[in-house]
Amino acid sequence: MDTARRASVLSCGQAPGLRKLTPQMLGTIEVAETHKFTSEMQPGQVLAAFKAAAPYLGLRPNVVHAIDWLFRFTDPLDWQPSSRPIVWPSAAMQQQDLGLGPSQVKNLNRHLVELGLVVMRDSPNGKRYGRRDPQGRIVEAYGFDLSPLASRCPEFRAQAEAGREERARVQALRRRATIARNGIRQLLETAVEQRIAGGDWEAHQEAATTASRGLAALGSSGEMEMAVARLERLQSDMRRYLEAALEAVAARTDSCHLPVNNNPTEPKNWPHITTTNQLLNLKDTVIALGKSGSLPVSSGENPPSSGFGSRVDNHRITSTQHRPGKVRTDSGSLLKITPVELVKLAPRLTTYLNNQAPSWPEIVDAADWLRDEMGISKYIWGDACLAMGREQAAIAIAIVSAKPPAHFRGSPGGYFHGMVSKAKAGELHLARTIWGMRGSGERQLK
C-alpha cells in the first residue's frame, strides 16, 4: 500500500514540502544554469550595479533590502570562474533580520526568483546549508544562488546609465517649466497692474493654466518635452500680446499730451503755462555745443555729459551711446547731475537710502524699491535697465515718483513703460525733464 501511495503521489507531482515552480521561476533557473563566470567579479560591484538600476527597474525597497542582506553572506572567492555564489542563511535568521513572518519570507523569496534575481538551490531534506574547504571555497551549498545577478550585471549598468540620463533630461525640462511659469506669472501681474484685459488676453491666460496643469505628473522626458515646449510658446505669445497692448496704451497717453502754446492769446484768467526749457546757466554746468563739437570746460569742473544714452560714473552722467541718424530735440544741451541733487528733486528716494550722500549704486537699489512701491512691475524695470542702463533707469523712476498722481492718465507703470518705449526708439531726453524739475524747485523756494 505504501508503495502504491508513493507512486500515486509522484505521478501527480504533489510530493509534500517541494517548492512549486512558475514559468517565471523556470526562466530564472535556466539563466542561472547557463551562466558561466568568464572572469573574476567582485560582489560589491554586482551589488552596486543592481542597486543603481533598481529605481529604474521599478523594484520595491523591500526587494532591494533583501538582496542587500543576502550579499552579507557571500565571499569574493564565490564569484570566481571555478565557483558559484551561493549563500545559505536560515529561514529563522531571515525572518528575524528582515522583520518578517514565515509566510512573508516565503512570498518574498518566491518574488525574488520570479524577478530573475536569485535561484533557490534545494537540498534533499529541504534545508539550507553549505560547507567550505580550508581555503574558503564552497564545497557543497544549498540556498540562494546569486548567479542571475552576475549574469545581469551589464544589463543593470546600462539601465542605470539610461535612467540617469532620463532623470537629467526630466530635471532640465522641469527647470524650463519653472522658468516659463515664472515668466507667465510676471506677465499676468503686469497685466493686472496696467489694467490689461479682454477676451484675447483671458484666452491666453486660460491656455497657460491648462498647459501648466499636470506637468508634475508626467514621468517621461518625451511627454514633458512637448508639454514644456507648448508652455514656452504660450509665454512668448503672451509677452508679444502684452507688449503690443502696452505700446497701444503708451501711444494713447502720448496723444493726449498736446504741444504747449507759450504765447497764449486767450483771456487773462486762463491758467498760466510755464515753460520747462530753461535758459543756459554756466553755473549749473549746462554748456551749449559748439560747431566743432568740442566741449569747453571751466577751471575745476569735470567735463559735462549728456542726458539719455549715458552712463553714470563718479557721480556724473557721461555719454556712452551714439545713435546715428537721430535728430536731437533737447537743443543740444548736456546735463550734469549728482545723486544728492537727484534725491532733492525726487524726495521719495530718501525712504530707501541710508545716508544723505548716496552713491549711484545706492540710488539704483533705492529706485528698485521705489518702483515696487509705485506698482511698477519688475518686468518693466528689467526692460528699462536693458534699454537705458541701470543708472538712467533709476533716474527715470525718480522722475516718475516726483510727478503728482493727477499727472498720470493711467498709472505710474503705464507712464514709465511709455518712457521705456521712447528710450528704445532713441526719443527719450531726460535732460529737459530734469531742467524743468530744477526750475520748478527754484520757483517753489522763491
Min mean pLDDT across 119-133, 332-346, 360-374 is at 332-346
**Residue partners of 328: CB distance under 8 A and separation at least 6:** 429
What is the distance of C-alpha 190 from the center of its chain?
Answer: 20
Q: Does 436 have pLDDT greater than 70?
A: yes
Mean pLDDT of 421-429: 86
The residue type of 180 is A
Answer yes or no: is pLDDT of 369 > 70.
yes
How large is the average pLDDT for residues 53-62? Answer: 91
The pLDDT value recorded for residue 101 is: 94
Of residues 45 and 25, the one with the higher pLDDT is 45
Average pLDDT, the chain: 75
What pLDDT does 98 receive?
Answer: 92
- CB of 125 closer than 8 Å to CB of 36: no
pLDDT at 68: 94
**What is each CA distance from 27 to 11, 38, 261, 293, 349, in whole angstroms?**
24, 21, 97, 91, 78
Q: Report d(CA 67, CA 117) in Å as an integer.
A: 8
What's the pLDDT at 35? 54
Cα–Cα distance for residue pair 63/86, rounded to 1 Å: 18
Top mean pLDDT of 177-191, 210-224, 316-330 is at 177-191
Residue 93 has pLDDT above 90, yes or no: yes
Most confidently modeled range among 158-162, 203-207, 429-433:
158-162
Is the pLDDT at 36 greater than 70, yes or no? no
- What percentage of the chain exceeds 70 in pLDDT? 71
**Predicted local distance difference test score (pLDDT) of residue 383:** 85
* pLDDT at 150 (0 to 100): 87
Instruction: Look at 269 and 143; give whichever has higher pLDDT.
Output: 143
Measured CA distances, 117 to 73, 108, 291 (Å): 16, 12, 90
**Sequence ranges of the domains in the chain:** 2-151, 164-255, 282-445
| 440/111 Cα distance (integer angstroms) | 87
Give me the pLDDT at residue 144, please.
93
Q: What is the pLDDT of residues 135-184, one digit of tens each?
A: 888 889 999 999 889 888 899 999 999 989 988 988 898 898 889 888 88
Residue 189 confidence (pLDDT) above 70: yes
pLDDT band of residue 23 (cuts 50, 70, 90) is low
Domain at 2-151: CATH code: 1.10.10
CB 416 within 8 A of CB 428: no
Band of pLDDT at residue 82, cut at 50, 70 and 90: confident
pLDDT tens profile 215-268: 777 778 888 888 899 989 988 888 888 888 888 777 776 555 445 455 555 444
